[in-house]
Amino acid sequence: MTSTTSELLAALGVPAAAVTGGSMTVRSPIDGAVIGAVHEAKAADMTAAIARAQAAFLQWRTVPAPKRGELVRLFGEELRANKSALARLVSLEAGKVTSEGEGEVQEMIDICDFAVGLSRQLHGLTIASERPGHRMMEQYLPLGVVGIISAFNFPVAVWAWNSALALVCGDTCIWKPSEKTPLTALATQALFEKAVTRYAGAPAHLSQVLNGGAAVGEALVDDARVALVSATGSTRMGRAVGPRVAARFGRCLLELGGNNAIIVTPSADLDLAVRGILFGAYGTAGQRCTTTRRVIAHESIHDELVARLERARAQLKIGSPVEPGNLIGPLIDKAAFDAMQAALAAAREQGGEVTGGERALAQQYPEAFYAAPALARMPAQTDIVKHETFAPILYTLKYKTLDEAIALQNDVPQGLSSAIFTNDIREAETFVSASGSDCGIANVNIGTSGAEIGGAFGGEKETGGGRESGSDAWKAYMRRTTNTVNYSRELPLAQGVKFDV
Ligand code: NAD
């Protein structure tokens, strides 16, 4: 383990024994160095963890919601105090450039703040009853144990989106992080435990982390005591998880792959569009679910836009994400690099003209996988363009009419994020209307990635249909009851039904 990682882990409160001597070797994508050896849970460990979480739930659900919010507030304080250390660990383990690592922890802080306010606003409706002397209302009540399965590319924020809400909703959490990023999960759990020690009367095991691969996740997925499984990752994973949870009538919240496009129209501010596309396509080395993978540009501005993107692309500085000035960090591993190369080969075979995409810094980092961002000018929306390759590849396409552009934008299996750059209000409103983008996120004059926590986040079609984070996404973490209260001395039946002897 490098001293930097071990120092960070110690500062964040993770005992050395938790990150040494285990069977899961953790490598930094920055240079391929081993930075930990984490202990892998077994299916039986998961069964025991679920029993503990269920026992904790029975206590936690009776704590008033604003008091539950206080624990999340304390956790937010721990995150604020440890922001730079946790962000640095995100960079070391997931390869994010420093400002993006810090942005990820800021997102955790933001959702904690949101959840604290929410803890006083878990409102149901009161409803007019058709019967005299009756009142109807609905309540949102704690749901149970929430299982959180997360992906490597947002190793901690996605957990926070789920757990901050789940905890104020009165639920308990079990986290199965990505097998590629167990260290940041252990550090986050340690910070949560610090908050728990400052909170009088918290039941033990409100949040637990179990590291391991798909088999550990499956033990969570199949257990009927887990009321909600919130799973973030590839569509392949969602296809396995969704039906298994449905088979036991559990609830599932799926946040899966995206294939996000930006439409650029003739009236667009091209300076803005270039900046939005550049960050969207190449930020996080193309490893965001909301990464811009396609640009659909009007034929009148296509060539100019692509020329500007090409110039900017070639200037992006590739290098260690923890060194200032670098904007493109490494891919997570060799498999990601190989998938990128395969996609670029397919793009060429399907008529694309590709620039960039080659391996970078191989001499300096022989055990790590940096790649030059790639631009692929495509003759049409071919099969490879419809496929999510989790790497910095931007496909460009031309269109003639807005209807054609919107049809292209929607003609992919995924439905997460989308954007239009235009100064024409008709085009903008059409894009966000019922006949516009079919995605969960549709933006105007900003890119596809970098969502704020205040809105509900998620997408349609193969993205899985789940919504988490802001707005009313909290309702997924609670069960709704409808209550009819009769304060009269009669017992009238609804719809005028008579049943008297
Ligand atoms: P992945 O699907 O390989 O793994 C995600 C998680 O699922 C891991 O924790 C993994 O161990 C677990 N898993 C895999 N198979 C499982 C199974 N059968 N049962 C239970 N758990 C299982 O994804 P990844 O490579 O870590 O992440 C990249 C993918 O995640 C991309 O497709 C990206 O678009 C997607 N993603 C989506 C969102 C979103 O909010 N929509 C956010 C981040 C990432």
Q: Which atom of ligand 1 is nearest to the CA of 416?
A: 41
Q: Are strands 393-399 and 374-377 parallel, antiparallel or unpaired?
A: parallel
The residue-averaged pLDDT of 82-93 equals: 98
Q: CA–CA separation, 467 vs 469, rounded Å? A: 7
User: Based on the structure, what is the number of domains in the chain?
Assistant: 2
Tell me which H or E stretch contains 460. strand 460-461
In a domain, 33, yes or no: yes
The residue contributing the CA closest to ligand 1 atom 23 is 233
Both 244 and 367 in one domain: the answer is no
The residue-averaged pLDDT of 367-396 equals: 98
Both 374 and 475 in one domain: the answer is no
CA 186–ligand 1 middle distance (angstroms): 18
In a domain, 477, yes or no: yes
Both 200 and 134 in one domain: the answer is yes
The residue contributing the CA closest to ligand 1 atom 28 is 233
Both 316 and 174 in one domain: the answer is no
Q: Quick one: DSSP state of residue 318?
A: B
Mutational test site, ligand 1, from 176, 236, 244, 289, max ligand atoms within 8 Å of CB:
289
Residue 1 has pLDDT above 50, yes or no: no
CATH number at residue 426: 3.40.309.10
Annotated catalytic sites, by residue?
Answer: 255, 289
The residue contributing the CA closest to ligand 1 atom 17 is 214
The residue contributing the CA closest to ligand 1 atom 30 is 233
Q: pTM of this prediction?
A: 0.97
Q: Which atom of ligand 1 is nearest to the CA of 255?
A: 41
The residue contributing the CA closest to ligand 1 atom 39 is 255
CA 232–ligand 1 middle distance (angstroms): 5
**Residue 346 amino acid letter:** A
How much of the chain, in percent, has pLDDT values that exceed 90? 99
The residue-averaged pLDDT of 17-46 equals: 97
Q: Are strands 468-469 and 456-457 parallel, antiparallel or unpaired?
A: antiparallel
Both 152 and 206 in one domain: the answer is yes
CA 268–ligand 1 middle distance (angstroms): 35
In a domain, 456, yes or no: no
At 64 the three-state DSSP class reads coil
Both 311 and 415 in one domain: the answer is yes
Residue 486 has pLDDT above 60, yes or no: yes
In a domain, 487, yes or no: no
Residue 439 has pLDDT above 70, yes or no: yes
In the numeric block, which tokens belong to residue 100? 């993006």
In a domain, 322, yes or no: yes
CA 238–ligand 1 middle distance (angstroms): 8
The dihedral through the CA atoms of 147, 152, 154, 156 has a sign that is positive
CATH number at residue 46: 3.40.605.10
CB atoms within 10 A of CB 107: 22
Q: CA–CA separation, 226 vs 229, rounded Å? A: 7
The residue-averaged pLDDT of 250-273 equals: 98
In a domain, 109, yes or no: yes
Residue 2 has pLDDT above 70, yes or no: no
The residue-averaged pLDDT of 353-358 equals: 98
Question: What does the pLDDT look like over 236-245, one tens digit per residue?
Answer: 999 999 999 9
List, in sequence order, every residue forming a beta bridge with 478; answer none if it has no partner: 142
CA 174–ligand 1 middle distance (angstroms): 16
Number of residues that make up the chain: 501
Both 382 and 251 in one domain: the answer is no
Q: How confident is the model at residue 3 (pLDDT cuts 50, 70, 90)?
A: low
Average pLDDT, whole number, for the chain? 97
Both 144 and 245 in one domain: the answer is yes
The residue-averaged pLDDT of 430-442 equals: 98
In a domain, 496, yes or no: no
Q: Which atom of ligand 1 is nearest to the CA of 464?
A: 41
Predicted pLDDT at 4: 86
Q: CA–CA separation, 365 vs 151, rounded Å? A: 24
The residue contributing the CA closest to ligand 1 atom 13 is 214
Mutational test site, ligand 1, from 234, 340, 448, 463, max ligand atoms within 8 Å of CB:
234
Both 310 and 411 in one domain: the answer is yes
The residue-averaged pLDDT of 378-388 equals: 98
The dihedral through the CA atoms of 237, 243, 246, 247 has a sign that is negative
Predicted pLDDT at 442: 98
The residue contributing the CA closest to ligand 1 atom 9 is 178
CA angle centred on 84, ends 70 and 283, rounded to 5°: 110
In the numeric block, which tokens belong to residue 285? 């080395």
Q: Which atom of ligand 1 is nearest to the CA of 236?
A: 2
Residue 177 has pLDDT above 60, yes or no: yes
Q: How confident is the model at residue 265 (pLDDT cuts 50, 70, 90)?
A: very high
Both 471 and 405 in one domain: the answer is no
**Residue 488 and residue 132 in contact, taking contact as beta carbons nearer than 8 Å:** yes
CA 333–ligand 1 middle distance (angstroms): 15
Full domain range(s) for residue 384:
260-444
**Residue 389 and residue 379 in contact, taking contact as beta carbons nearer than 8 Å:** no
Both 83 and 169 in one domain: the answer is yes
The residue contributing the CA closest to ligand 1 atom 22 is 214
Please name the residues in contact with 289: beta carbons below 8 A apart, sequence gap of 6 or more.
151, 153, 232, 255, 256, 257, 258, 416, 417, 463
In the numeric block, which tokens belong to residue 326? 């670098």
Residue 88 has pLDDT above 80, yes or no: yes
* Alpha-carbon dihedral angle through residues 329, 332, 335, 341, given to the nearest 10 degrees: -20
DSSP characters over 348-399: HHTT-EEE---EESTTT-TTS-EE--EEEE-SS--GGGGS--SSSEEEEEEE
Q: CA–CA separation, 484 vs 134, rounded Å? A: 7
CA 162–ligand 1 middle distance (angstroms): 15
The residue-averaged pLDDT of 307-318 equals: 97
Mutational test site, ligand 1, from 150, 237, 290, 338, max ligand atoms within 8 Å of CB:
237
Q: Which atom of ligand 1 is nearest to the CA of 220?
A: 20
CA 157–ligand 1 middle distance (angstroms): 14
Q: Which atom of ligand 1 is nearest to the CA of 213?
A: 11
In a domain, 410, yes or no: yes
DSSP characters over 3-19: HHHHHHHHHTT--GGGG
**Residue 381 amino acid letter:** Q
Q: Are strands 370-371 and 374-377 parallel, antiparallel or unpaired?
A: unpaired
Chain-centroid distance of CA 374 in Å reads 24
Ligand 1 pocket, CB under 6 A: 149-154, 158, 176, 178-179, 213-214, 217-218, 221, 232-234, 237, 240-241, 255-258, 289, 388, 390, 416, 463
Residue 32 has pLDDT above 90, yes or no: yes
Both 166 and 197 in one domain: the answer is yes
Question: What does the pLDDT look like over 184-209, one tens digit per residue?
Answer: 999 999 999 999 999 999 999 999 99
